[in-house]
């Protein structure tokens, strides 16, 4: 083993350690770190640094010491590369860089994490073999968890005749009123941007223009269009822009919140009388003793056409305005605790608000029970508990109705933030087919890191077989 030219000395849990100076790429203040559920205790999380996804390692745990307090002002992050993987090493303090006196450098074979001892004046500095030490802490390929068998016989559900003629709607609130829009023209849901560009000669309700992946889109406040009294004049955390798309043209509608995506039997939708056929509201749906107004799709299309930017109005042009021409994924982004995760939209059939769940006797901890959704018994898994977080239920809780190996499963999450298209350039793919997290999505110049879940690896086949029996029970 060669002797390094320079040693970077650091403090970890009060002890002095050193790293080969040539192996250290950067010394940084501690950046924002996103947790990785179910990872080894020594893995602090992920960060986006200089355009790279970096696995953050707690060197205190790595070296069997106390954790590094990364919130301390003296804490630093050392970036290195091992086997073409990028890592960040958290340390309590950086002491300094010094050249090596070979007479004071003694190789060590006692510990595969410590490769040498170096004497510095009155101190002994332990030289860390960083790549060897983190080898066993690299990102795991999270095997699916085997859920114990459970019996469905004690669960009583009411049989309901299912009407196969149904449509999917996006439910939203404006002011204190609830509305629904057909999913046929809904493109995606995004957060309200920090700035909206004003427009000259803007029509009624027009807020201005937003830029969404280089496309200029007119944004309209839906409360003005629908003449709804605002519940609160200030923007709220739940405020979203719903982007509509029809024949290549787009329009963004500001709404106070998005509550769920729901499939509704046509038998439960009451059409308005003919004299109201050209109004903004085309039909009514009764939900939990509340009347939900379904906004006319024809009216929305006319509104979209009326407010679409013409070619000569564009200041930013796409090389190709067709989203199919770019490599993209469409994902549902949801919240668990303070972290964001995503599922491919092809895996999500519906997004519904939390409803009472019938418990299953002797079920595993993260299997909450079952619900009856339009006559279909659907098992509900607590995704927070599956990923090692604490489960909480409040008004924002949602259930994602998903399909795993042709079986309908509900995934309980804290909230759904967005449904969005994401270009490949913002996605780092996991090479392992067994990984629970298939992709790492990096947005907002690295400030926002989202782990995309490979839904087929959430639970194993034996569990799915048991769930199938439960649905039939």
- Residue 377 and residue 154: Cα distance in Å, rounded? 13
- Residues facing residue 117 across a β-bridge: 106, 126
Token digits for 286?
């009764």
| pLDDT band of 151, cuts 50, 70, 90 | very low
Q: Which of 107-121, 224-238, 239-253 has the lowest mean pLDDT?
A: 224-238
| pLDDT band of 313, cuts 50, 70, 90 | very low
| pLDDT band of 463, cuts 50, 70, 90 | low
Query: Average of pLDDT values for 328-353?
Result: 91
pLDDT of residue 413: 95
Per-residue pLDDT at 179 exceeds 50? yes
- Residue 353 and residue 172: Cα distance in Å, rounded? 11
| 3-class state of residue 156 by DSSP | coil
Chain centroid offset of residue 88 CA: 22
| 3-class state of residue 150 by DSSP | coil
Q: Assess if CATH 2.40.50.180 describes domain 166-322.
A: yes
pLDDT of residue 88: 93
| Mean predicted lDDT score pLDDT of the chain | 82
% of residues, the chain, pLDDT over 90: 35
CA-based angle 204:250:171, to the nearest 5? 80
CATH number of 328-472, picked from 2.40.50.180, 1.20.1260.10, 3.40.50.10800, 1.10.287.70: 2.40.50.180
pLDDT of residue 235: 63
Q: Which has the closest alpha carbon to 209: 315, 335, 290?
A: 315
Structure confidence by residue, pLDDT tens digits, 44-71? 988 888 778 888 999 999 999 999 999 9
pLDDT of residue 26: 92
**pTM of the predicted structure, to 2 decimals:** 0.73
Query: Average of pLDDT values for 157-186?
Result: 77
- Residue 436 and residue 142: Cα distance in Å, rounded? 5
Per-residue pLDDT at 74 exceeds 90? yes
Per-residue pLDDT at 214 exceeds 80? no
CATH 2.40.50.180 boundaries in the chain: 6-137, 166-322, 328-472
CATH number of 6-137, picked from 3.90.1300.10, 2.40.50.180, 3.40.50.2300, 3.40.50.970: 2.40.50.180
| 3-class state of residue 190 by DSSP | strand
The b/e string for 311-343 (b: 16+ C-beta within 10 A; e otherwise) is: eeeeeeeeeeeebeeeebbbbbbbbbeebbbbb
Structure confidence by residue, pLDDT tens digits, 373-417? 888 888 899 999 888 888 899 988 999 999 887 788 999 999 999
- Residues facing residue 10 across a β-bridge: 17, 94
């Amino acid at each position: 083993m060669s002797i390094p030219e320079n040693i970077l000395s650091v403090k970890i849990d009060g002890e002095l350690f050193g790293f080969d100076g040539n192996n250290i790429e950067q010394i940084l203040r501690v950046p924002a770190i996103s947790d990785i559920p179910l990872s080894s205790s020594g893995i602090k999380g992920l960060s986006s640094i200089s355009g790279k996804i970096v696995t953050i390692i707690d060197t205190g745990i790595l070296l069997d010491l106390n954790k590094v307090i990364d919130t301390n002002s003296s804490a630093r992050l050392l970036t290195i590369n091992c086997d073409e993987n990028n890592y960040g090493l958290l340390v309590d303090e950086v002491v300094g860089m010094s050249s090596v006196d070979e007479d004071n450098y003694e190789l060590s074979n006692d510990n595969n994490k410590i490769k040498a001892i170096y004497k510095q004046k009155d101190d002994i500095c332990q030289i860390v073999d960083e790549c060897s030490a983190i080898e066993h802490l690299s990102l795991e390929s999270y095997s699916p968890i085997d859920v114990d068998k459970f019996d469905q016989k004690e669960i009583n559900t009411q049989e309901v005749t299912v009407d196969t003629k149904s449509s999917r709607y996006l439910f939203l609130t404006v002011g204190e009123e609830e509305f629904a829009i057909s999913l046929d023209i809904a493109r995606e849901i995004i957060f309200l941007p920090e700035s909206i560009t004003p427009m000259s000669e803007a029509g009624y309700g027009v807020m201005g223009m937003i830029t969404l992946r280089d496309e200029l889109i007119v944004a309209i406040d839906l409360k003005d269009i629908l003449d709804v009294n605002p519940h609160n004049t200030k923007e709220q955390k739940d405020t979203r822009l719903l982007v509509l798309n029809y024949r290549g043209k787009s329009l963004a509608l500001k709404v106070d919140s998005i509550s769920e995506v729901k499939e509704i039997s046509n038998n439960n939708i009451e059409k308005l009388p003919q004299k109201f056929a050209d109004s903004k509201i085309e039909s009514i749906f009764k939900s939990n003793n509340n009347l939900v107004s379904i906004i006319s799709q024809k009216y929305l299309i006319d509104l979209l056409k009326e407010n679409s930017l013409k070619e000569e109005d564009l200041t930013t042009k796409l090389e190709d305005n067709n989203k199919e021409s770019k490599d993209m994924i469409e994902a549902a982004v949801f919240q668990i605790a303070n972290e964001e995760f995503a599922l491919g939209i092809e895996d999500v059939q519906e997004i519904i608000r939390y409803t009472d769940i019938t418990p299953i006797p002797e079920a595993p901890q993260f299997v909450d029970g079952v619900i009856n959704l339009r006559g279909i018994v659907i098992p509900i898994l607590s995704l927070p508990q599956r990923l090692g977080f604490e489960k909480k239920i409040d008004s924002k809780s949602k259930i994602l109705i998903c399909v795993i190996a042709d079986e309908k499963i509900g995934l309980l999450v804290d909230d759904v933030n967005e449904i969005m298209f994401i270009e490949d350039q913002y996605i780092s793919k996991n090479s392992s087919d067994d990984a629970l997290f298939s992709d790492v999505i990096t947005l907002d110049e690295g400030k926002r890191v989202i782990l995309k879940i490979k839904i087929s690896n959430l639970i194993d086949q034996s569990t799915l077989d048991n769930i199938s029996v439960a649905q039939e029970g």
